Amino acid sequence: MGEKGRSKGCVGWFLVVVILALVAGAVVITIKKRSESHDDGGDVGPPGAVQKKYADALSVAMQFFDVQKSGKLEGNKIEWRGDSAMDDGSQVKLDLSKGMYDAGDHIKFGFPMAFTASVLSWAILEYGDQMGVVNELDAAKGSLKWITDYLVEAHPSPNVLYIQVGDPNTDHGCWERPEAMKENRPLTQVNTSVPGTEVAAETAAALASASLVFKSSDPTYSSTLLQHAEQLFTFANKYRASYSESIPEVQTYYNSTGYGDELLWAAGWLYHATGDHTYLDFVAQNGDDFANFGSPTWFCWDNKLAGAQVLLSRVSFFGASGLSSSVQSSLQKYKSTAEAVMCGLLPKSPTVTTTKTDSGLLWVSEWNSLQHPVASAFLVTIYSDYLLTSKTGTISCDGKTFKASDLRKYAQSQADYVLGDNPSKMSYLVGYGDNYPQFVHHRGASIPADATTGCKDGFQYLDSTDPNPNVATGGLVGGPFLNETYIDSRNNTKQGEPTTYNSALIVGLLSGLVTSSSVVRSFK
């Protein structure tokens, strides 16, 4: 319940992700080309052999989205979960029952939820064929839609966005299953009088990227998502103000350090979704103010710069017609900064960061320490695939050359650490392997499904010395301290609380590593 630490959990210098090379696998399966298997296009090669370790881990990781779902659980696959928060939004005649709880509590925080959707969309767009071969693509799209249905409903008019359901102080004063909640669930919104640029822009990014995911399978829904995305971007850009300043109460949990990164991130996704060059004009014109060119940053729920730089590097790698020289020049700056992120991660790079454990895990913050190495590895994987697909082949870090396979090797090292290749021999992915956390900080997992509790008497389960009766399968816990120790205690929220945005990142990373493949040149 130490959720206050989340506002400190996305800090530091830079972020990246997973690499690419041929993977040795126990199971060899022939897969359709990506243009035939999910909602994008382009000439791509089929994936190669499946690596069972990553496939098994991906299957586990996907289940946490089901654990976190709010609302009426159609086709519920988690036996200890049931319907919850069915009246959310009813006070303003909206159905906000869907969406997902952010972590071990029952608040719907729109800022990290939208980031979860953006990352999950990106993972599907880049690696949907790889998800498909291990039978996880439909589940990924279903989980994404569970969030985007909520986000659409939370945007009832162009300049109004509901960004939170529930009161954190009330919620954190209770320890109960979501199915048993009886407390009031107040709503928080941003509008023209109380603007929130970063949360509106992040929601625009989520809906724009998701519109690409559903473009072929459900074009009507895709168009609806894109319409909301364009309205939200206009609202975010026209009424510029941080939601942390407009609504100081949000600083305790998901405090924002600025909105420029979200505007660039949203514009990048809107360009890919629409092909409208005015969005590239936007990132070019605002780059000097917002992009922090030349200085790598971390990719996380609060800072999207590294993600935006990698996403925009797509345009430089794979080309776009009709770009002005000034836009091309600006896009090269984004690409160069994305490479600086990569160079800051590669172990033998002259510019590698020294912020890592003795075993090589990237380490930035003791609160939710695994979000940074996993997010970085996800970006590294994507970038390595861009190198291969574009036949660029290498990057240069202060004169030292690295191949795509070097990037992939780094990404695998971070994934393997998470899955148990660490001094504790513990899997930090709940439900994967034989040794994983048993005292996860998660209300629903800690209380027997047949228990009858109110707000306060449920704390007996928080304080219990027995392992959780329910497994929060797929949850990626916060992770180890810098000295690589992990204290498996339900009260240890710094290390033991899983989050949905962690899940989106590990799903993206594992999807990129499950087999080798080139990426599509265009999402359309």
- Asked if the structure places residue 501 within a domain, the reply is yes
- In whole angstroms, what is the distance from residue 445 CA to residue 448 CA? 8
Residue 21 pLDDT: 30
What pLDDT is attached to residue 11?
Answer: 55
DSSP string computed for 46-106: PP--B-HHHHHHHHHHTHHHHHHB-B--TT---TT---B-TTTTGGGT-----SB--SSS-
Domain around 487: 3-513
Backbone φ, ψ for residue 109 (5° rounding) = -95, 115
How buried is 79 (Cβ within 10 angstroms: 0-12 exposed, 13-18 middle, 19+ buried)? exposed
93 occurs within a structural domain:
yes
pTM: 0.93
* 372 catalytic residue (yes or no): no
Q: Which residue type sits at 94? A: L
- Which of 66, 88, 102, 105 is flagged as catalytic? 105
Q: Is residue 524 part of a domain?
A: no
Position 516 scores a pLDDT of 80
Per-residue pLDDT of the chain (524 residues; tens, 9 = 90+): 344 445 444 754 433 333 223 223 333 333 333 332 333 333 445 566 889 999 999 999 999 999 999 999 988 999 999 999 999 999 999 999 999 999 999 999 999 999 999 999 999 999 999 999 999 999 999 999 999 999 999 999 999 999 999 999 999 999 999 999 999 999 999 999 999 999 999 999 999 999 999 999 999 999 999 999 999 999 999 999 999 999 999 999 999 999 999 999 999 999 999 999 999 999 999 999 999 998 888 899 999 999 999 999 999 999 888 999 999 999 999 999 999 999 999 999 999 998 899 999 999 999 999 999 999 999 999 999 999 999 998 999 999 999 999 999 999 999 999 999 999 999 999 999 999 999 999 999 999 999 999 999 999 999 999 999 999 999 999 999 999 999 999 999 999 999 999 999 999 999 999 998 778 888 97
Return the structure tokens found at 441.
Answer: 């900080």
Sequence length of the chain is: 524
Residue 112: inside a domain: yes
Residue 499 lies in a domain: yes
Query: Is 64 inside any structural domain?
Result: yes
- Residue 42: the pLDDT is 36
In the annotation, is 463 catalytic? no
The answer to whether position 373 is within a domain reads yes
Angle in degrees, CA 214, 68, 440, rounded to 5 = 140
CATH number at residue 26: 1.50.10.10
The residue annotated as part of the active site, out of 38, 172, 372, 441, is 441
Say whether 277 is catalytic.
no
Residue 43 has a pLDDT of 42
Q: Which of 56, 218, 484, 488 is catalytic?
A: 488
State the total domains in the chain.
1
Confirm whether 172 is a catalytic residue: no
Domain assignment of residue 519, yes or no = no
